[in-house]
Structure 1
Amino acid sequence: MSMMRELSFFLGLQVRQLERGTYTNHVKYTKELEKKFGMERFSPASSPMSSSIKLDKDEDGQRAVITACRGIIGSLLYLTTNRPDILFVVFDSNFNLISYFDVDYADCKVDKKSTSGTCKFFGDHLYSWYSKKQTSIETSTGEAKYLAAGSYYAQLLWIQQ
């Protein structure tokens, strides 16, 4: 393709071609997100949220703008999951699926709903995690774990397929 310039963007990914290989990244997209949502002033964190913080209802706080929250969440999900096909190319031979889940029974102070969470690894690389408040109120720790385990195993079976 001598009539075209060197490839620099492809399907939203920045492309850099060097002698030792071709590399892709999301640096430009990430910087645009930081500017769009006013995140330039925030400091990086090693985890999404401190495990010692217990959330409670803020009676005096401002209501969140739902469309802005959905925009941030959707953009971050796109950033982290839009190219799963690259996963196979990047990883080495250690392609073992390792997964964990846990439930905090009735931990929400407002509605006493349980929170479940999972994290999944391919080898040593975290590729998926979530934390979600369960939709129903359980009557025991066992029931909360049973409901979370059903969803958890369904996801694992889908991944294995």
Structure 2
Amino acid sequence: MGNEHKVFKLKKALYGLHQAPRAWNAKLDETLLSFRFRRSPSEHAIYTRWNGEAQLVVGVYVDDLVIIGASCDDIKHFKKEMADAFKMSDLGLLRYYLGIEVRQSARGTLISQGAYAAKILERSGMAGCNPCQVPMATRLKLSKMSTEPLVDATAYRSIVGSLRYLVNTRPDLAFAVGYVSRFLEEPRKDHLAAVKQILRYVAGTKSWGLRYERKKEKQVQLTGFSDSDFAGDVDARKSTTGVIFFLVNSPITWQSMKQKVVAQSSCEAEYIAAANAACQGVWLARVLAEVHGSAPSVPMLKVDNKSAIALIKNSVLHGHSKHIEVKYHLVRESAEKGQINVEFIRSEEQLGDVLTKPLGKVKFHEFRAKIGLVDVRGKYSKAQEEIVVNGSLARGFPIPLL
């Protein structure tokens, strides 16, 4: 009694409190820096350490760590350092991480979310549905002003939210999932029908994922594709940006999003999309340079609109571009400084097209293959897999998980 107006002062952060994640991150950061790691200035979740010519890279997601290195001895030494500092579990070679399945061999790495996709289908009652060839019908247009009957908003949001996480390994779903995400506030029957088509497509491709081949190249090329439709949103008349970046021939980041402003022409829409791509490309180049310990290479950005390219390379603001918001002129500044190279590409070869609009079956399957999506089921037989020696592959990079 008499202590009703007093509070407890915590001497250490407790699990579950709002400040606990920040306290844990500060402790982990302090510990890794004491182990002579260097935190990436561009991406604070990446730490690197050099031991002569051998490099160790640590990726952090809350309390899950992925270690990448060329030397098993360095990895074992680091795991011992971490075991002395924290109570930890060594899960061995990376096979499953945050719902993403990882398969490694001497030829490359495959990532997929087959088990997660199966759970989505089961929870939505679509486990036994008939599969379809494309995630969205060509020329499909949906509106928030639809007069169709309302559907269960909670169930709709749950399914779409689950599909959004599936996009982490499925760039072919990025546009369709982003499109149906625009109707979360008041979903209707026609919106749900579009979601069910996505689920039917997932049912036929749930074992698909991305392939990353192992290549020995001193200088890797970062290549981006930037594309946009024009006024594809029937309600706000805004356009959709599609951006995808490849490291050599493998996709490492992709984005499909509705633009924040209304573009007055296809040139302006492509210019805005290129500005978003430039931001991503410059950042990726910096991160790669910090990991490799070298000067950043200049990323290549491919755009299929010659007017937009002329606007990027022309530093004179004229009547057709002076109304464009200042932040989108970053792409022009990046091109002038040599931080990014912009090149023209024909629309038939624009891989970003799959992120801006629903495509027909033939073109969609063609672009899906070019992006790097493959059926990971049975891709590497046991006879073809390399023997795992001391927690690492006989050839390639060992990637254990803490």
TM-score normalised according to structure 1 size? 0.62
Which residue of the partner structure matches residue 108 of structure 1? 233
Q: How does 1:45-64 map to 2 (within 5 A)?
A: 45=133, 48-50=135-137, 52-57=138-143, 59-63=146-150
Q: How does 1:114-129 map to 2 (within 5 A)?
A: 114-129=239-254
Residue from 195, 203, 223 that aligns with 1:98: 223
Tell me: CA distance 1:128–1:64, structure 2 relative to 1, closer, same or farther (3 Å). farther
CA contact (8 A) 2:245 2:281 kept: no
Please say which structure displays the higher CA radius of gyration: 2
In the TM superposition, what is the alpha-carbon distance from 1:65 to its structure 2 partner? 5.2
In the TM superposition, what is the alpha-carbon distance from 1:77 to its structure 2 partner? 4.2
Q: How does 1:129-140 map to 2 (within 5 A)?
A: 129-140=254-265
Q: How does 1:18-57 map to 2 (within 5 A)?
A: 26-40=113-127, 41-45=129-133, 48-50=135-137, 52-57=138-143
In the TM superposition, what is the alpha-carbon distance from 1:73 to its structure 2 partner? 4.2
Q: How does 1:61-100 map to 2 (within 5 A)?
A: 61-63=148-150, 67-81=154-168, 91-93=213-215, 96-100=221-225
Tell me: CA distance 1:62–1:125, structure 2 relative to 1, closer, same or farther (3 Å). farther
Give deviations 1:113-142, integer Å, cap 9, x for gaps.
Answer: 112212233333334433222121122333
Matched residues in 2 for 1:63 and 1:72: separation? 16
1:111 alignment partner, SS class: coil
Matched residues in 1 for 2:157 and 2:131: separation? 21
Matched residues in 1 for 2:274 and 2:149: separation? 35
After superposing the two structures, state which structure 1 stretch, 95-104 or 65-74, moved more.
65-74
State the percentage of identical aligned residues.
Answer: 28
2:116 alignment partner, SS class: helix
Residue segments in structure 2 that go unaligned for 5+ positions in a row = 1-92, 104-109, 170-211, 287-402
Letter in 2 for 1:39: M
CA contact (8 A) 2:231 2:238 kept: yes
The one of the two structures with greater contact order (alpha-carbon pairs below 8 A, sep at least 6) is: 2
Matched residues in 1 for 2:111 and 2:268: separation? 45
Letter in 2 for 1:28: A
Letter in 2 for 1:34: L
Matched residues in 2 for 1:64 and 1:36: separation? 17
In the TM superposition, what is the alpha-carbon distance from 1:14 to its structure 2 partner? 6.3
Matched residues in 2 for 1:132 and 1:24: separation? 24
1:143 alignment partner, SS class: helix
Residue segments in structure 1 that go unaligned for 5+ positions in a row = 1-6, 17-22, 83-89
Which residue of the partner structure matches residue 3 of structure 1? none
In the TM superposition, what is the alpha-carbon distance from 1:155 to its structure 2 partner? 0.9
In the TM superposition, what is the alpha-carbon distance from 1:100 to its structure 2 partner? 0.8
Tell me: CA distance 1:60–1:24, structure 2 relative to 1, closer, same or farther (3 Å). closer
TM-score normalised according to structure 2 size? 0.29
Letter in 1 for 2:213: F
* Cα RMSD, aligned residues only: 3.6
Q: Which has the higher helix share?
A: 2
